[in-house]
Structure 1
Amino acid sequence: MTIRVGSAPDSWGVWFPDDPRQTPWHRFLDEVAEAGYSWIELGPYGYLPTDPARLGDELARRELRVSAGTVFTALHRGPAVWDATWAQVADVAALTRAMGAGHLVVIPEFWRDPVSGEELEPGRLGPQQFANLVSGMERLGHRLREEFGLRMVVHPHADTHLHDEESVTRFLNATDGDIVSLCLDTGHYAYCGGDSVRLIETYGERIGYLHLKQVDPRILADVVAQRIPFGPAVRRGVMCEPPNGVPELPPVLDAARGLGVELFAIVEQDMYPCPPDQPLPIASRTRRFLASCGA
């Protein structure tokens, strides 16, 4: 059983394809390799070069490989959004497959703006919207497997409709386990009150991918008390450098090893926006910490 550790543009303050406050893509690639990682995610589509030949060359020069692509979807809005959703997903999936990766991380769309925290729609799904989410994710998972050979892993995320223990377990119980797997993000799940070890022990057969992240419990307490949206919470430093937060990562890794399957465990520390010299030292220390945990 192998846990393959990597990192992602998110740990370099990257949330969008193009933003002058973000680390330039070539610096990210240089620094993620320097920090000791050999696996990366693609991040927002368009941040890294989208031409497969060019991107493949850039990765090979740095001895990097791709574990997954990432895409946001709003499938709870029903069949009317399917065509536009698939067009977007197909672009990401094609690049992901061309880079030799086997996973696509699918995140439900935010109900609050990820930067300003402005409410864009209600934070809870009605019965029909939940049914749309279930059927849409199953349809998407089928098509990604059939057309691209990719395993879809759905990512519960703060300020989306799939975030806490109640919504995650309801979603898992409603979906086909042969088609819909989970990307467990330890930081987001803790941010929303969930227990990652318990989720792995209870729904281990559904865990297809990990994001390793920690939350500063002191900042989180203020965030919860003041009902601060996720974007402003990130700017306060709610996502922190391991091993300074929760959940403790060694028990999570031990529980994951207990599944007896190969898993990617991709480090993500939300830091949008951040000073350009901040990510590399954190990434290097985090890689050394995870190595001390046997990962």
Structure 2
Amino acid sequence: MKIAYTGWTWLINHEDNYKWEFEQFLKEVSDLGYQAVENFAFITKYFDNDADEVNGLLKKYNLELVNLYEHYTNDPEADYQSALEYVDFMKRTGATYLNLQGLMWEDAPNNRPTDDARIREYAELSNKIGKLCRENGMYACFHPHANTPVFTEEQIDLLMEYTDPELVYLCLDTAHTTLAGMDPVKAFDKYASRLAYVHLKDVDPDETVHPEWPMKRFRPLGVGTVDFKGIYKSLQKNGYDGVLCVELDIQPVCNYKSAMVSRRYLHDVLGL
């Protein structure tokens, strides 16, 4: 399995300094021994769609770009047009996976009743983007996420039912499945046949911590209570040999420290 890290949290500080921050991200995760990286698809804008410049930085730090991450809006046609641009950029950088995420809300309540009509809309769009990805030798991976219409087990099941298994795959996230009330190990077993990409992060089990925004309970690997040994065994049992991508939304200290703690855990505990 290939070990990757997500870089968007480096790129949220200085609007006029994104290229420097992206290179700093590459420098730090390379130093820590990660093999690959992913980033939100907005890096295509930061680099004016210049794949050669990104490739030069990746080569400088001996890293591979494996994934771009697209966020849906309320405009499916615009989302598909964005996917066309992202897939073109991915072809020129060698990336293989396009993550897809539903529109995220930031107002209460965090969890909302299942919206079957919206999930059907996402399924239709995801099938269309999935076909585009397959035609270009890539995988479209839907990412269930807190504060979006596809989060709970019921909602994931509906999306899987409404999408073509040969076009739309899953990116399961260990922390979001935990927040959704699922047992992550059982979830990885259940969805093994649709799994094409993995996000790893830990969770503080104390639900009294940040009840207004539970994603603030996310932690570096080994600092919470997610059963990563069990998840790794599930992945091995089901023949998964893809990317394990670490991500962390909130940093206890800084990006480098979080990435270091997680990399040490993967090496010392899982032998990766």
Q: Give the alignment's TM-score, normalised by structure 1.
A: 0.82
Question: 2: distance between equivalents of 1:6 and 1:122?
Answer: 29
1:40 equivalent to 2:34? Answer: no
**1:53-106 Cα distance to aligned partner (Å, 9 max, x none):** 1110111011010111110114xx5xxx33211221222222222111211111
Q: 1:229 is matched with which residue?
A: 213
Q: 1:265 is matched with which residue?
A: 244
Alignment of 1:76-95 (within 5 A): 81-95=75-89
- Selected match of 2:100 from 76, 101, 106: 106
Structure 1 residue ranges without an equivalent (≥5): none
Q: 1:5 is matched with which residue?
A: 3
**1:241-290 Cα distance to aligned partner (Å, 9 max, x none):** 2201131211111101111132100000112xx58x72212212211210
| CA shift in 2, pair 1:16/1:210, >3 Å | farther
1:71 equivalent to 2:70? Answer: yes
**Structure with more contact order per residue of length (Cα contacts < 8 Å, sep ≥ 6):** 1
Structure 2 residue ranges without an equivalent (≥5): none
Q: Secondary structure at the match of 2:43?
A: coil
Q: Secondary structure at the match of 1:42?
A: strand
**1:102-146 Cα distance to aligned partner (Å, 9 max, x none):** 111111111x1xxxx336999445443232222221122112222
Q: Which amino acid aligns with 1:192?
A: A
| CA shift in 2, pair 1:127/1:241, >3 Å | closer
Question: 1: distance between equivalents of 2:11 and 2:3?
Answer: 19
Does the CA contact (< 8 Å) of 1:187 and 1:246 recur in 2? no
Question: 2: distance between equivalents of 1:15 and 1:170?
Answer: 33
Q: Which amino acid aligns with 2:95?
A: A
Q: 1:289 is matched with which residue?
A: 265
Q: Give the alignment's TM-score, normalised by structure 2.
A: 0.88
**1:180-223 Cα distance to aligned partner (Å, 9 max, x none):** 110001111112212221112122111111001111111x3444
**1:18-60 Cα distance to aligned partner (Å, 9 max, x none):** 4889982221111111111120003341276331111101110
In terms of mean alpha carbon deviation, does 199-208 or 58-67 score higher? 199-208
- Selected match of 1:174 from 155, 162, 185: 162
Quote the sequence identity (%): 22
Question: 2: distance between equivalents of 1:163 and 1:143?
Answer: 24
Does the CA contact (< 8 Å) of 2:248 and 2:258 recur in 1? no
Q: Which amino acid aligns with 2:51?
A: P
- Selected match of 1:136 from 100, 105, 125: 125
Q: Secondary structure at the match of 2:149?
A: coil
| Aligned alpha-carbon RMSD (Å) | 2.8
